[in-house]
Structure formats: C-alpha cells, structure tokens
Structure 1
Amino acid sequence: MPIGGSKEFDLLHQAMAATNDAGNPVLNNMGGRCQFSRLRDTSAKTVEVHGFCTYVDKDGDQTFEQCDFLPGQPNKCKIIGGTGKFEGLQAELIITIEPLKSNFEGISQVIGHKKGTYKLAKTN
C-alpha cells in the first residue's frame, strides 16, 4: 500500500523448505514459514525487509530466525533459539537468492541459500 511520497509498505508471508548440504540437522529437511514487513522506496529503488521465520523438523523441534535486509548491505538473518534438540541454537547467516519464473500472477518464487556459522549455547 502507498504510504506517501514514493514509499510503499507490504506484508509478506513465505512458505519455506530447507535442506542442509552438509547433512547436519540444523535447517535440514525442515519446513518453515516467514512473516515480513517490507518498505519500498520506488524513486530510490530501495527495499528494506524485517521479519521472523520458524522452521520445524519431522520430530516437531523448531528453530526461530530473525531477518533484517537493509539497502546496500548483505541480507542477514540470525537464528535466535529453538526447541528440543535446537534449544539454545544461535547462528549468523547471510542469505542470497535466485529468482525463479513463477507460474502464478502476483506470486514470486526464489531459491535461497544460507551461509554462516552456528553454535548450541547451553541454556541451563
């Protein structure tokens, strides 16, 4: 929706699937969803995105991710915790995306790649 000047505000909902090329359990064979707010400046041709994602594995264990994509900077996310085997999980991630051609009007599709490091912090 337009919010004045050359700016537009959107809410985004994304469905995700994650695999880990190394095969370890962090973000491997997990389904997820994300909720983002997006601020676009059409005259400056910039986009700012902030939001959260939750992924779940076959055992029901979850990871929680916070993302901030700022103009002129790498797309960064961080895992800020989890449940079950992912309790205490922390990660710093850089996200790159490759757009795909969509079969549906108004729906964009991408393949994303996450690179970074993680650690399991003891919570007790």
Structure 2
Amino acid sequence: MKNNSNAGKSIAMVIGSLVWVSSALAQTLPKSGVIEATYTAAGSDVKDIIVTGDDAVYLFESTLLLANNPVSPLMQNVTARCAEVGLSGATATGYCVYADKDGDKFIESFTYQVGDTKGKGTLGSGTGKYKGIEGQLVWEQVRALPSDKGTFNYIGKKTGSYRIR
C-alpha cells in the first residue's frame, strides 16, 4: 500500500510540474508572430482649431482595451493610450503607447485618411520584453457603438505581424 501511495505522489508531482511548465510557456511572448486582435476603443475630441469654413486641425485622444486575443500573445491583456492629430479632409497621424501588466511598453505609429474606417500602423520603440519590436499592421473599425457628441466608441480589429530582434 505504501508503494502505491508514493507512486501516486510521484505521478501527481510529475503532472503538477508539466502543468506549471505548460502555463509558463504559454505566457512567454514569441519572438515573432501574427497579429489578429479585436479591441474596444473609446475616445474624445481634445481640441479643434478652425482654419476656414469646415477645415480644422484637430487633436484627439483615445484608449484601447485588448483582452481576449489568444491567437496573438502580443495583443493579449494590454491597454493603449493614443493621441491623434489631423486636418479635416486630409491625412491623420497618431501614436498609441501599449502597456502590459509588467509595465513593459511598445508604440504603434499610425496614419489614415480622415473619414476612413481603416488605416495602417507600424510597431516599434519597445521596452522590457518588447525591446527591439518591429511590425506592420492594418486596423479597422468593425462596429460603431453609441456615444455622446465629441466622443466615440467602437469595436476594432488589428491584423498583421511582428518580430522582436
């Protein structure tokens, strides 16, 4: 009976070790991969500077929440603070600073034609585990959500790839 008990303990320890190693491996960020992420965005107008008529230079800020993206560990459980500036009817440019629970960060710089619901982004300037990150992505507004005047809420999608040198 004692031998069976020890065998059971040994098996339990082996299984426990395998589960621990598996969960540790699942949490590490691959050095390269695809980006397939869904996010929620909320933002507001900060300032409009009227040029003439309907033309204005604007400043806009937003927050992105990315939680359940198991296909893309890079975009799993991170938030982003974004700032955008543009001229109505022209091209908009901005930056998003992504951060994870460890405080490690990376930047997405993006551009798009004002009025479009799609744009392109480039990843770089990483710290911690993201140091040396490079990547390209396309983002798209998938569904607009209700919002007050001067604000926006939407669900978006990002697709692309990255690598960390």
Aligned residues: 114
Rounded Cα–Cα distance in structure 2 between residues aligned with 1:4 and 1:60: 43
Higher fraction of strand: 1
Q: Which runs of 4+ in 1 moved over 4 A?
A: 71-74
Deviation of 1:118 after TM superposition, in Å, equals: 0.7
SS in structure 1 at match of 2:103? coil
Higher alpha-carbon deviation: 64-73 or 112-121: 64-73
Unpaired runs of at least 5, structure 2: 1-48
Deviation of 1:21 after TM superposition, in Å, equals: 4.1
Deviation of 1:70 after TM superposition, in Å, equals: 2.7
Query: Counterpart in 1 of 2:51?
Result: 3
The one-letter code matched in structure 1 to 2:152 is: S
SS in structure 1 at match of 2:106? strand
Give the alignment of 1:5-44 within 5 angstroms.
Answer: 5-19=53-67, 20-24=69-73, 26-41=74-89
- Larger Rg computed on CA atoms: 2
Rounded Cα–Cα distance in structure 2 between residues aligned with 1:38 and 1:27: 26
Identity %: 27
Select 2:122's aligned residue among 71, 78, 88. Answer: 78
SS in structure 2 at match of 1:85? helix
Larger RCO (CA within 8 A; separation ≥ 6): 2
Closer, same or farther: CA 70–27 of 1 in aligned 2, 3 Å: same
Rounded Cα–Cα distance in structure 1 between residues aligned with 2:51 and 2:122: 29
Normalised TM-score (structure 2): 0.63
Please say if 1:100 is aligned against 2:145.
Answer: yes
Query: Counterpart in 2 of 1:56?
Result: 99
Unpaired runs of at least 5, structure 1: 42-46
Higher fraction of helix: 2
Normalised TM-score (structure 1): 0.81
